[in-house]
Amino acid sequence: MPFKSVKDTLAEWKSGNLHSGSKSGPVVKNPKQAVAIALSEKAKAEGTPGLGHTRFKLREDRAAAMPKKGTR
């Protein structure tokens, strides 16, 4: 699936043809949701990890840096 620009995605939303999830999903009615879908598609096309990956990595780093309880 080739990446559509945010402008193309908003045009699809404005015409009432943008669906959340798949084409059988509900029609997107909120412009903020349309922008979020466009940015998500852009991130997938570029192969960048999502925010969830970075949050998990931060938790791992913090846990490794913290001293264990009961040890001196």
27: helix, coil or strand? Answer: strand
Report if residue 36 sits inside a domain: yes
Mean pLDDT of 30-37: 89
Report if residue 70 sits inside a domain: no
Report if residue 22 sits inside a domain: yes
Q: How many structural domains compose the chain?
A: 1
pTM score of the predicted model: 0.58
Report if residue 71 sits inside a domain: no
The C-alpha atoms of residue 19 and residue 6 are separated, in whole angstroms, by 15
Confidence of residue 21 (pLDDT cuts 50, 70, 90): confident
Report if residue 72 sits inside a domain: no
Handedness of CA 43, 60, 62, 52 (dihedral sign): positive
Confidence of residue 14 (pLDDT cuts 50, 70, 90): very high
Q: What is the pLDDT of residue 69?
A: 72
Beta bridge partners of 19: 27
Report if residue 61 sits inside a domain: yes
The C-alpha atoms of residue 64 and residue 61 are separated, in whole angstroms, by 5
Report if residue 39 sits inside a domain: yes
Q: Tokens 């913090």 sit at which residue?
A: 62
Structural domain boundaries enclosing 21: 6-65
Report if residue 21 sits inside a domain: yes
